[in-house]
Chains A and B, each alone.
Chain A
Amino acid sequence: MPRRELIHPHQVADWLEELSGKLTQPGRLILIGSGALLWHAHLKGITDPLPEGSMDVDPLTDSDEIARHCYEAIIGTPFEEKHGWHVNLMPNAVLKEFPEDWETRATTKQIGHLEAVTPCPPDLLAPKLRRGEPRDVVHSDWAKRVGLLD
């Protein structure tokens, strides 16, 4: 089986475009984790792949329609079979891992009906660096190297 992790910035952009195309009404999604770092990279035109790729993206949403589409992309679905990674819905409570005022620094991008919000890269890295697993450190180093923290 070919290697199909989530490593390229455009993979997250493609997924958000695909998701947006399915929405019939406006909805908000907050993206966190390494998928969010890749989204920031895409927005800055960075194409360097993420070392120690990810097997999922971690979104939060209060939109029933977006959540329903995310259920069609969880582990084991045809979506995962096609893309090689899956969607792992995260609860609102996880946002307390970020600095309290993260929303004031967040990036918001409107893609059709989809409002995609991501904490800024330093805020995204804060819980990763607290956790301090080797993969988290590698992601932090990548973010610095490609200019996400500039």
Chain B
Amino acid sequence: MENNTANSVWGPYPNYDDIARLEYGQQMWRHDYMRRRLLAHWRDERHPHRERFAEHREQVEMALNSSDTDEALNRQFLSQGTSLRCVAREIPPVFGHFFAK
């Protein structure tokens, strides 16, 4: 990723945890088994971000389904009044103690 592109999307102080959830979330989303597993995990009653995920699910799934560059995806989100940076923040984390197989 070019630095100027990265800066335009993620800002001068990127949050690597957010970017990692997007990057590896997209990787895992391509596999039916992992996609189903992540969805079940994020909708699990024990997941503290369950309600946030339900609220932002459409945009989170749009980000995870995308094979566009971060810059192109960001442009799409900007046209919707948000940004890739904001959507990535809404990708829930994975907690290993109930990430059921």
Nearest Cβ in chain A — how far from B65, in angstroms? 15
Q: Which residue of B lies closest to A62 (CB)?
A: B27
- The answer to whether B14 has its CB under 8 Å from any CB of chain A is yes
Q: Which residue of B lies closest to A96 (CB)?
A: B3
Q: Are A91 and B16 in contact (CB under 8 A)?
A: yes
Listed residue (B3, B34, B95, B96) with the most chain A CB atoms within 10 angstroms of its CB: B96
Q: Are A76 and B96 in contact (CB under 8 A)?
A: yes
Nearest Cβ in chain B — how far from A77, in angstroms? 3
- The answer to whether A1 has its CB under 8 Å from any CB of chain B is no
CB contact under 8 A between A77 and B27, given known A91-B19, A96-B3: no
The size of the chain A interface, using a CB distance under 8 A, is 23
- The answer to whether B28 has its CB under 8 Å from any CB of chain A is yes
Q: Which residue of A lies closest to B20 (CB)?
A: A91
Interface magnitude class on chain B: 20 to 34
Residues of B close to A90: CB separation below 8 A:
16, 20
Q: Are A89 and B24 in contact (CB under 8 A)?
A: yes
- The answer to whether A150 has its CB under 8 Å from any CB of chain B is no
Interface positions of B (Cβ within 8 A of A): 1, 3, 6, 10, 14, 16, 19-20, 22-24, 27-28, 30-31, 34, 94-99
Can you list 5 contacts pairing A with B, beta carbon distance less than 8 Å?
A: A71-B34, A71-B99, A75-B95, A90-B20, A93-B16
Interface positions of A (Cβ within 8 A of B): 62, 64, 67-68, 70-80, 86, 89-94, 96
